[in-house]
Amino acid sequence: MRPEPGGCCCRRPLRANGCVKNGELRNGYVRSSTATAAAAGQIHHVTENGGLYKRPFNEVFEETPMLVAVLTYVGYGVLTLFGYLRDFLRHWRIEKCHHATEREEQKDFVSLYQDFENFYTRNLYMRIRDNWNRPICSVPGARVDIMERKSHDYNWSFKYTGNIIKGVINMGSYNYLGFARNTGSCQEAAAEVLKEYGAGVCSTRQEIGNLDKHEELEKLVARFLGVEAAMTYGMGFATNSMNIPALVGKGCLILSDELNHASLVLGARLSGATIRIFKHNNMQSLEKLLKDAIVYGQPRTRRPWKKILILVEGIYSMEGSIVRLPEVIALKKKYKAYLYLDEAHSIGALGPSGRGVVDYFGLDPEDVDVMMGTFTKSFGAAGGYIGGKKELIDYLRTHSHSAVYATSMSPPVMEQIITSMKCIMGQDGTSLGSAFGREMLKRNIGVVVVGFPATPIIESRARFCLSAAHTKEILDTALKEIDEVGDLLQLKYSRRRLVPLLDRPFDETTYEETED
Amino acid sequence: MTGDAADSVPPIGRAQTAKGGHFLETTGVSAPLCPSRTVRASEAGRMNVGVAHSEVNPNTRVMNSRGIWLAYIILVGLLHVVLLSIPFFSIPVVWTLTNVIHNLAMYIFLHTVKGTPFETPDQGKARLLTHWEQMDYGLQFTSSRKFLSISPIVLYLLASFYTKYDAAHFIINTASLLSVLLPKLPQFHGVRLFGINKY
């Protein structure tokens, strides 16, 4: 790619050992010495002070070691073969069949249950099902109470023993700022509003469901984000899925990140626009798509696209990666596309004053055309918002499906958001921002575990959600237990050596996300 | 092509990476890959919820994953070693058996089993497709397809050598190779001879 003089936001791909090819340092990109660290995995996109980033931004994801990958496939292979065996036994009634089947009389009709599509559910998921859908019976704060359940038929059914496992360290809730509690100013304010307004609104925004609290909340959200106006919705998922169709339609192009959330994907598909996917956080891929879109236009007619909308998220919850917002904005300005930023996880949690990923990079909120976010995570409430220019929000008030058909947000929830947002604005909203589940539960820690097919086949993950409500003691306990479990299950795959923190001057001005 | 239900098997396309522009729309179907028709919200109940990717059908990407070719080679090697350890099989028999068993397993898992072992948000587009037809969404001549076409050929050559080109072994090995190579041809994409394995 021919480099542009100054301000180019794409860079040459690095060689596998991290070195840039000879003579290709351009535009002020400094070859970082840490980039050449001989980590076993490949290094993706290490950048330093490109002029777009005000501070060094270092995000590195290691690839799985080959041996582990091969063993994972072997494991899946063995489980698949056993699955076939068990299905065979169940079919010939040698083994009892627990799942739903059609009645004998209906066997000749077109099948009601796609048996093969439930293969993984029946044979893999059922074995380890007790790690998911655990019922909790307390506020999901730093610690949570879980109802104990036992299964006597290998997880096909559960019985509650009546015990409650108390004080489980909660690393699975999106309680980033610790607002999920049942005591304190937020709760009192919400209780007051509940007494005054009741729990339900019983109408949509466009009919009788527009309360003064909605206006107050929207003004506050707009002020918080630094945009002209904002509009709130009762459900975060519905914010995405119902508003993207209002913004784009047939003849438009959506460029969506690989790892975008289901709500964004659904909204994009409902809109009827053409969807093209770029590799996760990969600016070269995005730029190539933009160039091709503008040069070639729509597929058969070659007409120019009516609109090009880039869909990205602030933080991708399953990867833990932060979007390269300065580069995305530079690209969007260069190619005159629109940007839709979903800050579900990053609002409240990133940035010196908690205003999200725009604040984190020190950028201008006006550069992002549509700022979307949810109140479910950092604010401990429910619902979502969209912020942007006044014309945009006015348009959405009339054209959004949520505004027209969905009931508006409930008053106590709004009060919770108002109180928590005022809390964040009033004080520093910094947060810690950032085989297995069962062992962790044994050690009283709750995490979220995901595997194939929800992740690529060799990339199952356990996700830890840190919260401002976690005290240092809790985190120390958690780290100790994670360390133990990691050793026990041989899960420590990173080949990086741990550098003691004192060796390097570490201050709040670096973005370092991993130790090198 | 067994005529009816033409929309159940999408026509194929070639990997047009050299020609610019057509990023994901190389399957040549009349509807683009990520469908631009509207999906009723009620149908999309479980779509991609709780997943860490936006891939509609993860099966299409399995053969491209890191380390799977190595795992496949190791598995074939393991099969061969297990057969070699059986005392009353001679070397030619062992090689022919490796070839035949490998081709049989490949035929079953790549060309017989249809659909996905998990629910996908594509509303059953892949239900009538074998794994070979699902790979890379029907794009032909990708590297995984080339790898999986070449490996039975390599095994065949090795088996021919070690059986010293004996006639009986030759017939068995060739028949087995043909049975596993023919379904891989692009002309046989979606073809179901005599209606076998159609639904």
Chain B residue at shortest CA distance from A119: B117
**Tokens read off for B196:** 């076998």
**Distance set, CA A254 to CA A251, A338, B54 (Å):** 10, 10, 14
CB contact under 8 A, A120 and B118: yes
Q: Residue B73 has what pLDDT?
A: 95
The answer to whether B172 and B96 have CB atoms below 8 angstroms apart is yes
The answer to whether A246 and A396 have CB atoms below 8 angstroms apart is yes
Q: Residue B20 has what pLDDT?
A: 39
Q: What is the pTM of this model?
A: 0.71
- Which one of A73, A241, A273 has the shortest CB-CB distance to B68? A73
CB contact under 8 A, A266 and B52: no
**Whole-angstrom Cα distance, residue A373 to residue A493?**
34
**Whole-angstrom Cα distance, residue B113 to residue B108?**
6
Residue of A374, A373, A343, A383 lying closest to A360 (CA atoms):
A343
Q: Residue A117 has what pLDDT?
A: 81
SS3 percent helix, strand, coil of chain A, rounded to 5, is 35, 15, 50
Q: Residue B51 has what pLDDT?
A: 65
With vertex at residue A494, the alpha carbon angle to CA A489 and CA A497, rounded to the nearest 5 degrees, is 115
- DSSP summary character for residue B107: I
Would you state the torsion angle of the CA atoms of residues A343, A346, A352, A353, taken in this order, to the nearest 10 degrees? 60
Q: Residue A506 has what pLDDT?
A: 39
**Tokens read off for A142:** 């730093």
**Residue B27 reports pLDDT greater than 50:** no
Q: Is A163 exposed, middle or buried (0-12, 13-18, 19+ CB in 10 A)?
A: exposed
CA A88 to chain centre: 39
Q: Which residues of A touch B115 (CB under 8 A)?
A: 114, 116-117
Q: Is B186 on the interface with A (CB under 8 A)?
A: no
| Cβ atoms within 10 Å, residue A487 | 10
| Cβ atoms within 10 Å, residue A278 | 22
Q: Is B36 on the interface with A (CB under 8 A)?
A: yes
Q: How far is A467 from chain B (nearest CA, A)?
A: 21
CB contact under 8 A, B117 and A116: yes
Q: Is B47 on the interface with A (CB under 8 A)?
A: yes
The answer to whether A363 and A202 have CB atoms below 8 angstroms apart is no
CB pairs under 8 A between A and B: 142
What ipTM was reported for this prediction?
0.71
The answer to whether A166 and A446 have CB atoms below 8 angstroms apart is no
The answer to whether A344 and A236 have CB atoms below 8 angstroms apart is yes
Cis-peptide into B87, omega within 30 deg: no
Q: Which of A387-401, B50-64, B73-87 has the lowest mean pLDDT?
A: B50-64
| Cβ atoms within 10 Å, residue A58 | 19
**Whole-angstrom Cα distance, residue A429 to residue A195?**
29
CB contact under 8 A, B23 and A296: no
- Spans of chain A, pLDDT less than 50: 1-49, 427-435, 497-516
The overall average pLDDT reported for chain B is: 79
**Whole-angstrom Cα distance, residue A195 to residue A181?**
19
Q: Is B3 exposed, middle or buried (0-12, 13-18, 19+ CB in 10 A)?
A: exposed
Q: Which residues of B touch A296 (CB under 8 A)?
A: 20-21
Contacting residues for A407 by C-beta, under 8 A, at least 6 apart: A200, A201, A202, A203, A204, A209, A234
- Which one of A265, A276, A292 has the shortest CB-CB distance to B20? A292
Q: Residue A287 has what pLDDT?
A: 94
Residue of A239, A483, A479 lying closest to A383 (CA atoms):
A239
CB contact under 8 A, B52 and A269: no
The length of chain B in residues reads: 199
Chain A residue at shortest CA distance from B117: A117
CB contact under 8 A, A458 and B65: yes
Chain B residue at shortest CA distance from A63: B66
Q: How far is A454 from chain B (nearest CA, A)?
A: 4
Q: Which of A97-106, B16-25, B178-187 has the lowest mean pLDDT?
A: B16-25
Q: Residue A445 has what pLDDT?
A: 58
**Residue B127 reports pLDDT greater than 80:** yes
Q: Residue A177 has what pLDDT?
A: 78
